[in-house]
Amino acid sequence: METFRARSDTELPARFPVAIDADRDQVVIPFREWTGVTVFHVLGLSDALTREVRQTRRSPDYGHPVVGELAGGTGPCRSCLEPFRVGLEERLLFTYRPASREGMLGAPGPVFIHTRECRQYRGTAFPPGLLSFPLFIEAWASGNRIHSARRVTGAETGEVLAELLGDPRTAYLHVRHGEAGCHIASVDRGPLPAALRDYGPRKTKNTAPQRHRAAQR
């Protein structure tokens, strides 16, 4: 695990929940200690935003044309947070800027979503479809600052999220592709907001986990 900034002297062990998909191999995250719980939620791009992109074929806020293509890489889709099935699924490429919050300015970049309708990932477990991707997790603090960041893949993800969310300086986490650098998802402390909970089961694809490189995005 590569360290971007020096770690805090205080280790905050945590139990890290990982979603289990019945159509996938079970994902197990190992831990040295199980002495606490870090409560967090993860969100993909909203259904309202992706619906607008599919209908208008324009990038939100920018108006740039959306590009459609047959998936030549695994992505992932920034809405459902599942990998694309290469050569089988159509996808849309557009410019997206994460919403600014608490004085922190989101930076624009290219993202992919399914051309077909898919549902926003909303959960209090880290999406299993992301665990095989190289990830770059940024811990944002007030004043538009990244106080720490980690490169991570697979089983290391739980430990890194627990550490960064346990740091009192962290306002939220921004998950990027570890090689391409583009936005994947946001991670916030606390349970899923009440307005987002009544969502029903998430549909998944029957695909085996695999490692995903930037050339496959």
Given a cut of 80, is residue 104 above it in pLDDT? Answer: no
User: Which amino acid is it at 216?
Assistant: Q
Task: Judge whether 64 lies within some domain.
Answer: yes
100: confidence class by pLDDT, cuts 50, 70, 90: confident
Task: Judge whether 17 lies within some domain.
Answer: yes
Q: What's the average model confidence in pLDDT over 98-124?
A: 87
Task: Judge whether 158 lies within some domain.
Answer: yes
Task: Judge whether 172 lies within some domain.
Answer: yes
Positive or negative torsion for Cα 79, 100, 197, 30: positive
Res 37: pLDDT: 60
Q: What's the average model confidence in pLDDT over 21-30?
A: 34
For residue 30 the two structure tokens come to 């190992």
Given a cut of 80, is residue 106 above it in pLDDT? Answer: no
129 lies in the same domain as 39: yes
Task: Judge whether 94 lies within some domain.
Answer: yes
Res 144: pLDDT: 83
54 lies in the same domain as 116: yes
Task: Judge whether 106 lies within some domain.
Answer: yes
Given a cut of 50, is residue 69 above it in pLDDT? Answer: yes
Average pLDDT score, the chain: 79
Given a cut of 80, is residue 20 above it in pLDDT? Answer: no
Continuous segment of H or E residues that includes residue 111: strand 109-114
- Name the more confident of 191 and 209: 191
24 lies in the same domain as 53: no
Burial class (CB in 10 A: 0-12, 13-18, 19+), 161: buried
Peptide bond connecting 76 to the previous residue in cis, omega within 30 degrees of 0? yes
For residue 78 the two structure tokens come to 């920034």
19 lies in the same domain as 55: no
55 lies in the same domain as 116: yes
Expressed as residue numbers, the domain containing 63 is 46-120
84 lies in the same domain as 146: no
Helix intervals (H) in 29-97: 47-56
Task: Judge whether 104 lies within some domain.
Answer: yes
Given a cut of 90, is residue 208 above it in pLDDT? Answer: no
Given a cut of 50, is residue 85 above it in pLDDT? Answer: yes
34 lies in the same domain as 127: yes
Res 191: pLDDT: 92
112 lies in the same domain as 62: yes
For residue 35, count other CB atoms closer than 10 A to its CB. 10
Please tell me what DSSP assigns to residue 149.
Answer: E
Res 209: pLDDT: 42
Query: Domains in the chain: how many in total?
Result: 2
Extract the runs of DSSP E, i.e. beta strands, from 30-182.
40-43, 67-70, 90-96, 109-114, 122-123, 135-141, 145-152, 172-177
- pTM for this structure? 0.75
167 lies in the same domain as 141: yes
Q: What's the average model confidence in pLDDT over 122-138?
A: 94
